[in-house]
Each structure stands twice: as C-alpha cells, then as structure tokens.
Amino acid sequence: MAADLRIARKGAGKMGLPEVSLGVLPGTGGTQRLLRIVGKSKAIELMATGQLFDFDRGLELGIVNQIVDAASGEEFLQRVREYAKQFTTPNKAAQAVGKIKRSVQTGAEISFESALALERELQQQLFQTEDAKEGLDAYVNKRKPQFKGK
C-alpha cells in the first residue's frame, strides 16, 4: 500500500491484513494507508476480520490499480516494466510525474488551502523546465512531445 501504483499478477496469491489473528494491528503504516485507500468503515472491517481476499476484490476496493494476466513471474515483471515506461522520458516529462506524486502525497496530509498553494508552487517550478516548453510547443504545433527530463 505504500507504493504509488499497485499492480498484481492474476491468480498469484491473496491479499489482506490478517495481523488481528496474531493479536496485533497492521503496523508499518498499514492502518493509516488502508484507511486512506478504502475509507474508515471498510478499513476497520478488513483489519478487524483479518480476511484474505483475491486481487479482483483488491481491485474493487482500490487497493490494487491493475491486475496483469501473465503466465510466469518473468512475464509479469516484463509487462510491469513496459507499463512503467509510460511514466518516464521520452514518453512523459519525468519531473512533472514526480511533482504530481509530491502534490498528491503531500496534499493529502495538509489542509486544502495549503495543498493548493503547494500545487501552485510545483506548477511554477515545472513552467521553468525545458520539458514544459517542449510539451507546450508540441501541443501548439500538434506533434508528439519528446521529453528529456530537463
């Protein structure tokens, strides 16, 4: 749950937070991360029952972003790497992806007004990058941008 995007391999296991069966709570941020993903009532239910469930249920709950149907672990890793490439140069402006992550992660923990101020600050930083200039120029000239991570 600590990952920004969570991808599972179809049929490769179960998931859940069964720590209650050991007499403890899901530590290392488990209680707080699940709360933020599924909401208070569902988080309490999932943790208090300790139930395990398949990845399809995890997808329904928003704990998993995507399920990949792969014949082997190696094929799964290859497909995940291909998926991840879309977030890096030259396909995307890597700095923009990083600032999006920072804005969302930090913004979720502070007041709405402070989050908007953070977003404006990060946007201003991005407007100074070569990639922003490239992206805007590509849009105006109706071509695909070629980002360089600068």
Pick from 85, 103, 120: which residue ends a domain? 85
Asked if residue 145 belongs to a domain, the reply is no
CA atoms within 13 A on the CB side of 77: 3
Residues 51 and 104 in one domain: no
pLDDT value at 63 more than 90? yes
Chain centroid to Cα 134, Å, comes to 26
Q: What is the pTM of this model?
A: 0.77
Q: Give 66-120 pLDDT, tens digit per residue.
A: 999 998 999 999 999 999 998 999 989 999 999 999 999 999 899 999 999 999 9
pLDDT value at 127 more than 90? yes
Residues 112 and 79 in one domain: no
pLDDT number for residue 71: 87
| Number of structural domains in the chain | 2
Give the rounded percent of residues in the chain with a pLDDT score beyond 90: 89
